[in-house]
């Protein structure tokens, strides 16, 4: 394929859709991944196509399982034959927010399998694919962008398993950036703050008040499209000497203040 291709996990809604739309505007063909049946994301696929994507495909599968990851990549290979960019975005919050003194093993294992184990092994598989394409074509450019969370470093004792998963995901960025540097395949991380999505819909009132009271330097919610803009800028190679680095998109939430 003459144009660039991207796989965005969790790309049918929220931050993932914001990323897919931004990449579509830059002319990428887009593979979005999700768990819903394809019939339920037809309107989303059309939205991405209208934004400028030459081709849009849907890869149903659970990134938290080896079978799901294999199915996703098989579909991308069949439809695109090549891949330039992986955006690891898919993630889940705990079904029930519980104090860390009450966290269940079931919740911990579920969150870790999707948020940490999944992107680790999906990145491994894609990295090997990118290396192979680079060996076949010296002009080929591939990259990986991990959409993480401020919870990688900001402790929330009522959802400890989420924080642990995001801290592990942050190390995944560092590890693969270090390993793929010799092949000139950059790995970046975008770290969103409080973003208005399905995941945060249940705590809207809580964060409305916190933001009004100064939680963020920029006193408003973040939107999925601002994450998309950051991802698109990295994908355009506008930060060519910054592999392994974290781009904070959090409205200044993590700036130390007193």
Which domains occur in the chain, in start order? 5-249 (3.40.50.720)
The first and second tokens of residue 245, run together, are 């680095």
pLDDT band at 49 (very low <50, low <70, confident <90, very high): very high
Mean pLDDT of the residues in the chain: 97
pLDDT band at 203 (very low <50, low <70, confident <90, very high): confident
For the purposes of burial, counting CB atoms within 10 Å of the CB of 103, is it exposed (0-12), middle (13-18) or buried (19 or more)?
A: buried
Measured distance CA(12)–CA(31) in Å, rounded: 10
Q: What is the pLDDT of residue 89?
A: 98
- pLDDT for 2 beyond 70: no
């Amino acid at each position: 394929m003459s144009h660039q291709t991207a796989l965005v996990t969790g790309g049918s809604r929220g931050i993932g859709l914001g990323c897919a739309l931004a990449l579509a505007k830059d002319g990428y063909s887009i593979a979005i991944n999700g768990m819903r049946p394809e019939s339920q994301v037809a309107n989303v696929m059309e939205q991405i196509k209208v934004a400028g994507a030459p081709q849009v495909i849907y890869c149903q599968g659970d990134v938290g399982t080896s079978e799901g990851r294999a199915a996703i990549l098989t579909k991308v290979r069949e439809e695109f034959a090549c891949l330039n960019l992986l955006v690891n975005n898919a993630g889940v919050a705990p079904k029930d927010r519980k104090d860390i003194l009450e966290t269940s093993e079931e919740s911990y294992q579920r969150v870790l399998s999707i948020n940490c184990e999944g992107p680790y092994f999906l990145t491994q598989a894609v990295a090997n694919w990118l290396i192979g394409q680079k060996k076949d074509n010296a002009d080929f450019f591939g990259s990986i962008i991990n959409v993480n969370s401020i919870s990688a470093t900001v402790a929330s004792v009522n959802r400890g398993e989420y924080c642990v998963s995001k801290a592990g995901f942050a190390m995944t960025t560092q590890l693969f950036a270090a390993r793929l540097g010799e092949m000139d395949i950059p790995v970046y991380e975008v770290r969103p703050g409080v973003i208005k999505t399905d995941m945060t819909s249940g705590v809207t009132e809580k964060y409305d008040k916190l933001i009004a009271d100064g939680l963020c330097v920029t006193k408003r919610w973040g939107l999925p499209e601002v994450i998309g803009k950051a991802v698109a800028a990295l994908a355009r190679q506008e930060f060519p000497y910054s592999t392994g680095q974290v781009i904070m998109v959090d409205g200044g939430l993590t700036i130390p203040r007193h």
